[in-house]
Amino acid sequence: MATADAIVIGAGIIGAACAWQLAQQGLRVLLVDDQLPGATAAGMGHLVCMDDNPAELALSSYSLNLWRGVVDRMPDNCAWQGCGTLWIAEKPEEMAIAEVKKQRMAALGVNSEMLSSQQVAQLEPMLRGGLAGGLHVPGDGIIYAPNAARWLIEDAGEAVQRVYGEVVALEQQAVVLASGQRLSAPVITLACGLQADKLLPTPLLRAKKGQLAITDRYPHTVKHQLVELGYGASAHAAKGTSVAFNVQARPTGQLLIGSSRQFDTLDTAIDMPLLATMLKRATDFLPGLAKMSIIRCWAGFRAASADGLPLLGPHPAYPWLWLALGHEGLGVTTALGSAALIAAQIQQQRTAIDDTPYLAARMFATEESLL
Amino acid sequence: MKLISLTIAGLPCQVQEGITVAAALSASGQDHCRISVSQQPRAAFCGMGVCQECRVIIDGIQRLACQTLCQGGMKIERSGNK
């Protein structure tokens, strides 16, 4: 039976960040990797400050500061680009939303600037004319999350040992793999997204399907990550199907086009009508996209919690089990922050930001009160 | 057999009517279609429009060489050298 100071289940961006952070604090970690692609492999890899509620803003801005401390050390294949985000106001009334966003972010030290219609057109000539303006957040960026996760694991050195296999059961301070192998540690962190529901007595997560498309290479057509200001409302809707305009220029010159949201399906097939709606929305903002070739489309599943915030903290019934779940579409952005909170909790240290809004216990308290 | 004239990477050539651009590239003696991000030459692989390896620029528009029939006067450019 292999032993360590901690076991982390899941080698996506959250699991890799947790293992890396625990290793920074001197712990020996076993990282269990089932080698199945999850949300990290399917997503856009944005490092974007989101402010739909104070807890989301606190975690994303804290985490982005931590990312800025390591991006310069990441190898080229992590594709870090400090491209910044342009939040686009389609209609004049959306400029008020941009202003609120700017003020909220400024309160946490996140710099941004309002842009006029002309400034938006100047910064991104491919955008259609007649947009109302926007908000530029220069500190945002993009990475290629699968390689960033691999790099975090490598950067931790020998302190993190990867174990390949699927966890089939959790036991008291131990995990059982499909092979029959048993690993034990005083502390176990569950960071395997939707897969966690198979291991927990009560399911905690809901799959939120997303579809993306990527074009052939068209270098120098778009410089910033482009997002419509209505994105937040769509991204955090708790039901229904929606699309929102979100385009990134990858370092290859390819344009990654998002995004869509759908509940209650685990079918990885592309939903063509929804893809068409998503692409239509994208061409509303970038008419030139219509002449470009799309070379791949794919779908993935965000792991959504009931209230849209991640679950970060001990499981109330199992004090040795930590949950790092439910990051939805913000897992890459909030990975280092989430990991830092988890590691501080495990080490019984003070967390750098108030961790109360994310504590996993909130999900269980609700259930108990219903009994 | 009818021959049609087109250019591949600026060089004039004649090909049989009815063949694909991928076939014309192959017949030109240099079948690569594009240079990948990692600077590798790539050529038509699946031949049925799925793998996307044979992207070329035909008359200024990126298309799949294996899914495009040659037409007289076409200008075919290998892509990815930007």
Number of neighbouring beta carbons within 10 Å of residue A1: 7
Write the CB contacts of A174 (distance below 8 Å, at least 6 apart in sequence): A1, A182, A183, A184, A185, A188
Whether A292 sits inside 8 A of B62 (CB atoms) is yes
Region A180-204: what's the mean pLDDT?
A: 96
Region A278-291: what's the mean pLDDT?
A: 97
DSSP B78: E
CA distance A217 to chain B (A): 8
Supply the pLDDT for residue A25: 96
Whether A293 sits inside 8 A of B62 (CB atoms) is yes
**Tokens encoding A162:** 């990867």
Region A111-126: what's the mean pLDDT?
A: 98
Q: Can you tell me the ipTM of this complex? A: 0.78
Supply the pLDDT for residue B80: 66
| Chain B residues inside the 8 Å CB shell of A295 | 52, 55
CA distance A248 to chain B (A): 17
Supply the pLDDT for residue A368: 46
Q: How confident is the model at residue A307 (pLDDT cuts 50, 70, 90)?
A: very high
Region A324-353: what's the mean pLDDT?
A: 97
Residue of A nearest to B62 (CA): A293
Write the CB contacts of A235 (distance below 8 Å, at least 6 apart in sequence): A50, A52, A244, A259, A261, A328, A329
Per DSSP, which regions of A218-317 are E strands? 225-228, 242-249, 254-263, 294-304, 311-315
**C-alpha distances out from residue B45 to A215, B51, B80, Å:** 19, 7, 17
Separation CA A227–CA A232 (nearest Å):
10
| Chain A residues inside the 8 Å CB shell of B50 | none
Region A192-209: what's the mean pLDDT?
A: 96
Percent of chain A topping pLDDT 90 = 92
Supply the pLDDT for residue A61: 98
Out of B37, B52, B63, closest to residue A252 by CB: B37
- Name the more confident of A178 and B30: A178
Residue of B nearest to A290 (CA): B61
| Chain A residues inside the 8 Å CB shell of B79 | 216-217
Start-to-end CA span in chain B (Å): 37
DSSP B69: B
**Tokens encoding A370:** 């219903």
CA distance A216 to chain B (A): 8
Whether B82 sits inside 8 A of A292 (CB atoms) is no
pLDDT tens column, B27-77:
999 989 999 888 899 999 999 999 999 999 999 888 999 999 999 999 999
**C-alpha distances out from residue A60 to A3, A70, A100, B70, Å:** 33, 16, 17, 52
Q: How confident is the model at residue A366 (pLDDT cuts 50, 70, 90)?
A: low
Separation CA A362–CA A305 (nearest Å):
11
Number of neighbouring beta carbons within 10 Å of residue A273: 9
Look up residue B63 and give its amino acid: R
Number of neighbouring beta carbons within 10 Å of residue A15: 29
Q: Which domains does chain B have, with CATH numbers?
A: 3-80 (3.10.20.740)
Whether B80 sits inside 8 A of A252 (CB atoms) is no
CA distance B1 to chain A (A): 33
Residue of B nearest to A253 (CA): B37
Whether B63 sits inside 8 A of A296 (CB atoms) is no
pLDDT tens column, A47-95:
999 999 999 999 999 999 999 999 999 999 999 999 999 999 999 999 9
CA distance A252 to chain B (A): 7
Q: What is the 3-state secondary structure (H, E, C) of B11-64?
A: EEEEEECCCEHHHHHHHCCCCEEEECCCCCEEECCCCCCCCCCCEEEECCEEEE
Out of B61, B63, B80, closest to residue A217 by CB: B80
B56 interfaces chain A, CB cutoff of 8 Å: no
